[in-house]
Amino acid sequence: MPIYRQMGLIPPKRHIVYRQPSGALYHEELFGTEGFSGMSSLVYHLYPPTMVKERGEPYSVRPKIAIEDNLQARSYLGFDLPATDDYLDSRKVLFLNGDMTIGIAAPRESMNDYFFKNADADELIFVHRGSGTLSTMYGSIDFGYGDYLVIPRGTIYRMRFDNADNRLQITESYSPVVTPPRYRNEYGQFLEHSPFCERDFRLPQNLETHDETGEFMVKIKKRGLIYPYVYNNHPFDVVGWDGCSYPYAMSIFNFEPLTGRIHMPPPIHQHFQGRNFVICSFVPRLYDYHPQAIPAPYHHSNIDSDEILYYVDGDFMSRNDIKQGQFTLHPGGIPHGPHPGAIERSIGKKETNELAVMIDPFNPVKITEDAISLEIGDYYHSWMHKNGVAV
């Protein structure tokens, strides 16, 4: 996040003597996710962030691969995933490659007795159902329906949910999740034609400093294993911080769609990106306004990218019979396009209320056993016609 942010108490210069009222030094930590040259923040703790009391035995949450190589269009019913009490237990990876994982979660309970740290991946959490608060050492962010939460890897956090009905779509990225550089000028400011700008980001608020010692469980995820670490002090013991690395939220409803007289290609919907993938937001918008425009997309050959669509709400113009929480996976290598009848049906339509998140991994994804349990078996037949009618 190239927006500089400052909260709480910090000294006038970095790396100088900075003392607590007791006379003890505050403990400065440089927090960055790309060595010492990427975006980072300087954080001032009451206690050293290194005081490990106990280290428990790790356990595996590594996804089990069911299909290594795939060249078949597939679809999955995400809302068929049963809800699970615990946040970490509820997270299920459906697709993965060397750059990222793509999954879902339906947690019922807040994280009351532990904190979580993903040491592998930035997280991009899309809130499909539910609301609550993301708590971190940088402050907290309230979230609700339609929010993306971007959490840099290594951030210790806690999710609190307002009720038990929560549906999240979670993307993990082994590189920083960023906004498209083409939306920003050479100074990092969002350009006039960008579909969103600085005002649309919700940064951490209400920095609370917890001066507590005892036993604080942080579950740390590294290479698919969860390591239970017990720290001597509360991880949110920060009195102040400044910099450009911190979690933030942005609502999909703040993405301002770009429209035109004839069909605009998917890059106009781009919202985020990481190494070897992009994420697009399809939001309610006016359709193309050329008198003979075809609003539905043309068939297209995504030869060098898998395409994964996650349907959130509204009627999706190019598909028949799509449910909330449903995924489609259109693998790179074979063309795909609107379902039978969708092109004719779209002609003359003025607007759409569709809401969806599209994730395009440039390297092929493997499919997990958890995905197989949610799969609609015959989806790849869904473009077949018989006398002009889909069979």
Residues of this chain that interact with Fe ion (CB under 5 A) are 307
Nearer to Fe ion, 14 or 299 (CB): 299
Nearer to Fe ion, 216 or 272 (CB): 272
| Residue 327 Cβ vs Fe ion, minimum distance, rounded to whole Å | 13
Nearer to Fe ion, 307 or 370 (CB): 307
| Residue 238 Cβ vs Fe ion, minimum distance, rounded to whole Å | 43
Instruction: Look at residues 152, 144, 254, 148 and name the one whose alpha carbon lies nearest to residue 199.
Output: 254
Nearer to Fe ion, 50 or 72 (CB): 72
Q: How many Cα atoms within 13 Å fall on the side-chain side of residue 319?
A: 23
Nearer to Fe ion, 336 or 366 (CB): 336
Residue for token digits 């037949």?
Answer: 381
| Residue 274 Cβ vs Fe ion, minimum distance, rounded to whole Å | 19
375 neighbors 319 (Cβ within 8 angstroms): no
Radius of gyration from C-alpha coordinates of the chain: 22
Residue 79's SS3 state is helix
CA distances from 354 to 318, 335, 357 (A): 10, 22, 10
| Residue 297 Cβ vs Fe ion, minimum distance, rounded to whole Å | 6
DSSP state of 226: E
| Residue 73 Cβ vs Fe ion, minimum distance, rounded to whole Å | 10
Token pair of 312 as six digits: 């959130």
Q: State CA 187 to chain mean position distance.
A: 25
